Amino acid sequence: MTAIPALPRAWAASSPNPHLMRLTLLVALTALPVMAAYGLDGRMFQGDSIWLKPLKFHLALVVYTGSLAIYAMLLPEGTFTSRRWRIYIGAVAACIIAELLWIGGAAALGTASHFNTVGLWGVIYPLMGLAAVVLTSLSLAMGVVFWRHRADPPMLALALGLVLTFVLTVPVAGTMSSGTGHLVGTPVTGARMPLMGWSREVGDLRLAHFLATHAMHVVPLAGLTGSRAAVWATAAGFTALVGWCFARALMGLPPF
């Protein structure tokens, strides 16, 4: 039986990346008033609480930045201490804060944030699309750094997972944001999947988007096998899965 390989101890820092941990804490703390609003404000928007979308974004960003902060522990100490990296992470943080203010502000005003092209919202919407690309690029940038240490299967898996997070997410999100909604087709009964809310009647681009953003969590698991072949096979299989779900959605077919 092959033992699960240990991650390079010489590269392990004493704590997660402080810049990303502070950002994660900020996003988590600012979710508290959103949670309060979710419980106190009974307004609905398209069948859900108007505060559900901001709450989901807070949760997703906590997972995203928190994961990257932990992954950074496996890189050589000092990797993210240069002035260039600090400026870049600062830009990512600014984009994340802008996204949360935009989505939370729209909820407070009782209007849509996404697919809203009316007045000032129509100006903000494409800017927030650019901000989303910038914040997602952090996974790509870190993936490139991990790629330099790809001789070890766990590091290769992290590199591929992080790079795929950007490569798969951007085209799916771009396609979704360029339309008038996340659905392809017109639902009749409104049947949706429990919890996630994906349509069970028509094409729903949100499933492919959800999977794409979690490549950074799924593909790295293959690194625990210690097999480079398993890592590459998992990366290819996951890419195919996202592509299959994306294609079904574009054809107007439900995810399952």
Residues 108 and 24 occupy one common structural domain: yes
Residue 93 lies in a domain: yes
Residue 3 counted as domain residue: no
Same-domain status, 223 and 106: no
CB contact set of 158 (below 8 Å; sequence gap of 6+): 71, 74, 143, 146, 220, 223
Boundary-marking domain end, from 107, 127, 149? 149
Q: What is the pLDDT of residue 7?
A: 52
**CA distances for 206 relative to 109, 183, 222, angstroms:** 24, 8, 25
Element (H, E) at 91: helix 83-108
Examine the pLDDT at 68 and tell me if it is beyond 70.
yes
- The pLDDT value recorded for residue 15 is 63
Instruction: Note whether 255 and 246 are within 8 A (CB).
Output: no
Whether residue 224 is found in the same domain as residue 115: no
Average pLDDT of the chain is 90
pLDDT of 126:
93
230 part of a folded domain: yes
For residue 255, report the phi and psi dihedrals to the nearest 5 degrees.
-65, -30
Q: Are residues 162 and 129 in the same domain?
A: no
pLDDT at 70: 92
Q: What is the pLDDT of residues 110-139, one digit of tens each?
A: 998 988 888 899 999 999 999 999 999 999
State the total domains in the chain.
2
Contact 242, 255 (CB under 8 A): no
- Going by their DSSP bridges, the two strands 203-204 and 183-184 should be labelled as antiparallel
Spell out the residues 6+ positions from residue 39 whose beta carbon is closer than 8 angstroms to its own. Answer: none
- Please report whether residue 5 resides in a domain: no
**Is residue 28 over pLDDT 50?**
yes
Tokens representing 74 are 């496996």
Shared domain check, 51 and 18: yes
pLDDT attached to residue 4:
41
CA end-to-end span of the chain? 37
Residues 161, 255: one domain?
yes
Mark whether 178 and 251 lie in a shared domain: yes
Last residue in a domain, options 132, 149, 166: 149
pLDDT for 3: 40
Does residue 255 have a pLDDT over 90? no
Q: Are residues 168 and 125 in the same domain?
A: no
Decide if 56 is inside a domain: yes
Residue type, 173: A
Any domain includes 198: yes
Angle, helix 120-147 to helix 153-178, in steps of 10 degrees: 160
Does 45 or 220 have the greater pLDDT score? Answer: 220
User: Is residue 2 in a domain?
Assistant: no
* Contact present, 203 and 176 (Cβ < 8 Å): no
Same-domain check for residues 92 and 157: no
The domain in which residue 222 lies consists of 151-256
- What does the block give as tokens for 196? 């996630």
The whole-model pTM stands at 0.90
Question: Could you report the per-residue pLDDT of 144-170, keeping only the tens digit for each?
Answer: 999 999 999 999 999 999 999 999 999
Residue 142 pLDDT greater than 90, yes or no = yes
pLDDT, one tens digit per residue, over 185-222 is: 888 888 888 878 888 999 999 999 999 999 999 999 99
Q: Do residues 140 and 17 share a domain?
A: yes
What pLDDT does 11 receive?
A: 46
Mean pLDDT, residues 7-25 taken together: 69
Tell me: do 139 and 205 sit in the same domain. no
Number of helical (H) and strand (E) elements in the chain, helices listed first: 8, 4
| Domain boundary, last residue among 124, 149, 174 | 149
pLDDT at 188: 85
- Does residue 187 lie within any of the structural domains? yes
Residue 106 near residue 55 (C-beta atoms within 8 A): no
Examine the domain organization and report whether 144 and 157 are in the same domain: no
Q: What value does the mean pLDDT take over residues 57-61?
A: 96
